[in-house]
Every structure is written in C-alpha cells, then in structure tokens.
Amino acid sequence: QKEVEQNSGPLSVPEGAIASLNCTYSDRGSQSFFWYRQYSGKSPELIMFIYSNGDKEDGRFTAQLNKASQYVSLLIRDSQPSDSATYLCAVILLNNDMRFGAGTRLTVKP
C-alpha cells in the first residue's frame, strides 16, 4: 500500500465551482498533514496544513482531516483559472519524514 495516495486526475471544474481533492494515508500514527500547490516547472508551495481532526478554513481553502478514516481533503471554493495546478498531499510519518502523494492535477475552466 502506498504511503500517501491521491487520485491523479485530471480534475476539471468550471470557474466558480467547488473543487474537492482527496488523499488517504497508510501510517496510522501520522499527525501532520499538508497541502501543497505546484505549478508546472515550479516548486511546491504550502497552502494549508492541518493537525487536528475536523475542518480548517483559510480564505477559499478548507482542509478536512479524519484520522480514524486516514483521510484528508482540500476544498477550494469559488475556483479560479489561476487555481489550475497540481495539488500535492503530504504527510509527516512517525519518523518525522514527509511523504508526498503523486498529486492531483486540477484544471479550472473559465
């Protein structure tokens, strides 16, 4: 089983819609979870982190964590064409190393 799994997409949503990105992880002891955005040819940019079960909101972004289900998600409200990128889920393992999922490519169509 992969340590961090994401649907590779592509996920396509119209401008103004809600984009929903999902991630599951295998290490039950993981405590820290991150969403990075990566534009083509650029480095990962941290957009959200979440450490506790439940929802965390920051502007148009909401991260959701369910440790019992080993599931973390990212919702992007009012999606904009500039949100088109690959979204990387990352998890800190028990040994404090960070592991990335393969990423979900999101396209927001005007």
Partner 1 sequence: EPEVTQTPSHQVTQMGQEVILRCVPISNHLYFYWYRQILGQKVEFLVSFYNNEISEKSEIFDDQFSVERPDGSNFTLKIRSTKLEDSAMYFCASSEMGTSGTYEQYFGPGTRLTVT
* Residues engaged in binding partner 1 (CB under 8 A): 32, 34, 36, 42-46, 49, 88, 90, 92, 95-103
Measured from the CB atom, the residue of 45 and 57 that comes closer to partner 1 is 45
Closest approach, Cβ 79 to partner 1, in A, equals 23
Closest approach, Cβ 58 to partner 1, in A, equals 13
Round to whole Å and give the CA distance between 2 and 88: 14
Measured from the CB atom, the residue of 60 and 99 that comes closer to partner 1 is 99
Strand stretches in the chain, DSSP E: 4-6, 11-14, 19-25, 32-38, 45-50, 54-58, 61-66, 71-76, 85-92, 98-100, 104-109
